[in-house]
């Protein structure tokens, strides 16, 4: 059993999420992002090269994330009805960082983003929310249209940016709760998966204690 565990499973990670006073234009362009906003590629602890870069930032009104997935062959393959099967990104956020809870609470959120597959032509990005398995209670209903989403997509790669307002995050209060649980997974049908903290075998979609801690820093 221990052979299937990543090295990351034996650590608890605390990662800084830098402050960004002005919410940037959400258009899918990675040029605006600086190195200090780059999320550490923890997969390197497994002697693996990351195939994607992840950037993040926050302010009083938004949590902002960006996923850059370059060097692909062909357009991403996405299926909004079966969003977990093909290309796309998952993002989990716990606004209380309840690291001792093995099951989700109303402060835990599970978003997914697809670079395409939406709209009448199937070329528009998709944002959705999924319920954590075996959660104790669900977060409040939210208006997903309030999430700012920007995508750039072609046959050589794609990039997704999302600015998630506090109104879409139950319990969002950076002043009182500057530590949040956070996890992301980038699934790529060509290259596999790139997870932030643990692999799928440890049940990150069930257990928020497997997520990393994001420290909202100024």
Q: What is the DSSP string of 101-134?
A: -SS--TTEEEEEEEEEEESTTS-EEEEEE-PPTT
Look at residue 42 and give its three-state secondary structure: helix
pLDDT of the residue at 95:
96
- Quick one: tokens of 59? 């302010």
pLDDT of the residue at 3:
57
The answer to pTM > 0.95 is no
Q: Are 152 and 72 in contact (CB under 8 A)?
A: no
Number of domains in the chain: 1
Q: What H or E segment, with its residue span, contains residue 57?
A: strand 53-58
40 closest CA partner among 179, 164, 194, 204: 194
DSSP H helices in the chain: none
Q: What is the DSSP letter of 173?
A: -
21 closest CA partner among 55, 58, 64, 66: 58
What parts of the chain have a pLDDT lower than 70? Answer: 1-5
pLDDT of the residue at 4:
62
pLDDT digits (tens, 9 = 90+) for 143-179: 999 999 999 999 999 999 999 999 999 999 999 999 9
Q: Are 4 and 198 in contact (CB under 8 A)?
A: no
pLDDT of the residue at 213:
96
pLDDT digits (tens, 9 = 90+) for 86-107: 999 999 999 998 777 888 899 9
What range does the domain containing 198 cover? Answer: 2-217
**CATH code of the domain containing 167:** 2.60.40.1190
Q: Please list, in sequence order, all residues whose beta carbon lies within 8 angstroms of the beta carbon of residue 14, skipping any fewer than 6 positions away.
A: 179, 212, 213, 215
The strand pair at 88-94 and 53-58 is best described as: unpaired
């Amino acid at each position: 059993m221990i052979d299937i565990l990543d090295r990351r499973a034996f650590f608890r990670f605390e990662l800084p999420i830098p402050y960004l006073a002005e919410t940037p234009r959400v258009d899918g362009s990675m040029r605006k992002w600086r190195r200090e906003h780059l999320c550490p590629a923890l997969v390197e602890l497994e002697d693996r090269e990351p195939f994607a870069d992840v950037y993040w930032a926050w302010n009083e009104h938004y949590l902002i994330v960006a996923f850059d997935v370059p060097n692909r062959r062909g357009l991403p393959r996405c299926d909004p009805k079966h969003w977990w099967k093909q290309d796309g990104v998952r993002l989990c956020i716990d606004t209380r960082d309840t690291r001792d809870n093995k099951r989700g609470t109303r402060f835990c959120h599970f978003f997914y983003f697809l670079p395409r597959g939406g709209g009448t032509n199937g070329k528009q990005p998709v944002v959705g929310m999924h319920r954590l398995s075996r959660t104790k209670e669900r977060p409040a209903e939210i208006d997903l249209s309030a999430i700012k989403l920007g995508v750039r997509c072609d046959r050589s790669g794609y990039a997704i940016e999302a600015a998630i307002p506090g109104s879409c995050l139950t319990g969002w209060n950076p002043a009182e709760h500057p530590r949040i649980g956070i996890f992301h997974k980038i699934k790529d049908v060509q290259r596999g998966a790139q997870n932030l903290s643990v692999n799928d075998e440890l049940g990150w979609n069930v257990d928020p204690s497997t997520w990393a801690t994001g420290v909202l820093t100024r």
